[in-house]
Amino acid sequence: MSIAIDPADIEWSAIRAQGAGGQNVNKVSTALHLRFDIGASRLPAGIKARLLARGDQRISSDGVIVIKAQRYRSQDRNREDAIARLQALIDDAATIPDARKPTKPTRSSRRRRVDDKKRRGQIKFARGRVDE
């Protein structure tokens, strides 16, 4: 399930890339910061809530997703990369996780567990001192 992202909800800023790269890194601002305000966006309320509930480091305390794209040397490819990463994050939040159904261990599995514990305890007990 893919949710369409409105380009008006995205704010861009060009920055210089970090790391090694020679003169191109020092002169050209090819890296991009993508800022996406979850609260002000046009996403459905359920997806907004799931995004805000995530413990993702890219989501600030203000509810703004910040993605830094500097993988490529051209600004266009970095823009595509940032949009793809944002889309993946939103698509992941769009899938509703299945509710966990709590189960009880069977009687035989509880018996096997206790038997294994007893057997292990007997092995450890046999390692003790020998009285003469």
Range of the domain at 19: 7-94
pLDDT (tens digit, 9 = 90+) per residue, 75-117?
899 999 999 999 999 999 888 889 999 999 999 999 999 999 9
- When the pLDDT of each residue in the chain is averaged and rounded to a whole number, the result is 88
Within 7-60, strands assigned E span 10-15, 31-37
Give how many domains the chain has, as a whole number. Answer: 1
Name the percent of the chain lying above pLDDT 90: 42
pLDDT at 21: 67
State the CATH number of the domain containing residue 15: 3.30.160.20
* Residue 11 is assigned to a structural domain of this protein: yes
* Residue 79 is assigned to a structural domain of this protein: yes
Angle formed at CA 17 by CA 77 and CA 88, multiple of 5 degrees: 45
**pLDDT higher than threshold 90 for residue 123:** yes
